[in-house]
Amino acid sequence: MHSVPDFLIRSLRPDDTDAIVGLYEAASARDINIGPITAAQWTDFVQRPHNKGGQDFRVAVQDNQLIGLAESSLRDQDGRQVRFFKLVIDPSRRRQGVGTALLKELLALNARDSALSFQTLAASDWRDGLAFLERLGFLHIESEITMRCLSLSAQTPVLPDAVVVERIEAPWHLAAEVADLHNAAFALDVAFRSYSVGEMQQILAEEGQVLWVVRDHSRILGYCRMECEPGLIWLEQIAIDPGHQSRGLGMALAYGALQAAGIDHGRPAGLNVSSVNGKARSMYRKLGFAIRREVRRYSVSQLDLIGRMAIAR
């Protein structure tokens, strides 16, 4: 039996920031996957367009102390409404119904009859989190796999005639082409979100962004976007025009870009890939990437969640 909850749930306020930083610190001391967050990172996160200033975030408070947080945003995925959320609960207040109560508040944000689903991420070794989600009927629909490469293992791939791989010095000039390629190549992704030219321009202008493309004489056929830091080369995105996939272009592009970036044990390459993206996973294995970590994506329809909630407490 859970003890009777004596906490209240309310909307997020700007003056919660210090308490949120403290909550993250306590939670990440227990679960390394949660990770600490600074006040500046939190403010930045809340201000991201899809978070709408945190208007759908909720906090649980007990005796003036913040003991739980639900981050949440509603997104449109190809005409389907998905509410993404993340719960962070103070480790000393676990198993007291705080997570369930926060989730109930998120349910109240939506129209009851909509064909909406709830989605969240949980590391595959986070046993408490997985047990919580499975009890509420969430299904594991895919995983985000983190891979690392310490040295490129593939032999230099051969490009088709008249096709070249090259680095772009002022990437933001190609924002329109890159956004088009992104939106076409990732359209069937579970977590797909379309990018406007303006958004892509903003991303490509960020510090540390490195853009490589594969092109023929008339147009760009694919791009590879990387973030190069002193100790890590992060392969953020690679996409080939759907009409030109499986011709060796992706392999040649990734190989060219990673080789030029200079990978070794002190500066490995890393990336995230979906467990259901067989093509990309196979390509990364051939390049020399190995699995490092798995974060699972869980989903449940709103109606199923309402049903489970009714019998959960």
Ligand X SMILES: CC(C)(COP(=O)(O)OP(=O)(O)OC[C@H]1O[C@@H](n2cnc3c(N)ncnc32)[C@H](O)[C@@H]1OP(=O)(O)O)[C@@H](O)C(=O)NCCC(=O)NCCS
Q: Are 171 and 226 in contact (CB under 8 A)?
A: no
By beta-carbon proximity to ligand X, the closer residue of 99 and 250 is 250
DSSP 213-225: EEE-SS-EEEEEE
Sheet of 220-229, strand order: 8-11, 58-62, 65-77, 80-89, 117-123, 290-301, 139-149, 269-274, 232-240, 220-229, 209-215, 164-168
Shortest reach from residue 273's CB to ligand X, in Å: 4
Task: Return the beta strands (E) in 43-200 as ranges.
Answer: 58-62, 65-77, 80-89, 117-123, 139-149, 164-168
Stretch that binds ligand X, among 99-107, 124-132, 203-211, 236-244 (CB under 6 A): 236-244
Q: Are 175 and 197 in contact (CB under 8 A)?
A: yes
Stretch that binds ligand X, among 87-95, 125-133, 195-203, 277-285 (CB under 6 A): 277-285
Residue in 222, 209, 207 with CA at minimum distance from that of residue 256: 222
Task: Examine residue 307 and tell whether it contacts ligand X (CB under 6 A).
Answer: no
Task: Examine residue 269 and tell whether it contacts ligand X (CB under 6 A).
Answer: no
Task: Examine residue 247 and tell whether it contacts ligand X (CB under 6 A).
Answer: yes
As a whole number of angstroms, the distance between CA 246 and CA 261 comes to 24
Q: Which residue has the closest beta carbon to ligand X?
A: 250
Reduced 3-state DSSP string for 17-72: HHHHHHHHHHHHHHCCCCCCCCHHHHHHHHHCHHHHHHCCCEEEEECCEEEEEEEE
Exactly one of 87, 200, 210, 283 binds ligand X (CB under 6 A); which one?
A: 283
By beta-carbon proximity to ligand X, the closer residue of 62 and 277 is 277
By beta-carbon proximity to ligand X, the closer residue of 47 and 246 is 246
Exactly one of 12, 98, 280, 305 binds ligand X (CB under 6 A); which one?
A: 280
By beta-carbon proximity to ligand X, the closer residue of 4 and 158 is 158
Task: Examine residue 238 and tell whether it contacts ligand X (CB under 6 A).
Answer: yes
Exactly one of 28, 209, 277, 301 binds ligand X (CB under 6 A); which one?
A: 277
Shortest reach from residue 235's CB to ligand X, in Å: 8
As a whole number of angstroms, the distance between CA 16 and CA 42 comes to 10
Task: Examine residue 23 and tell whether it contacts ligand X (CB under 6 A).
Answer: no
By beta-carbon proximity to ligand X, the closer residue of 167 and 244 is 244
Alpha-carbon Rg of the chain, whole angstroms?
A: 22
What is the pattern of x (binds ligand X, CB under 6 A) and - over residues 157-196?
----------------------------xx----------
Shortest reach from residue 276's CB to ligand X, in Å: 10
Q: How many residues bind ligand X (CB under 6 A)?
A: 20
Other CB atoms within 10 A of residue 82 CB: 19
Sign of CA dihedral 271, 272, 275, 280: negative
Contact set with ligand X (CB under 6 A)? 185-186, 238-240, 245-251, 273, 277-280, 282-283, 286
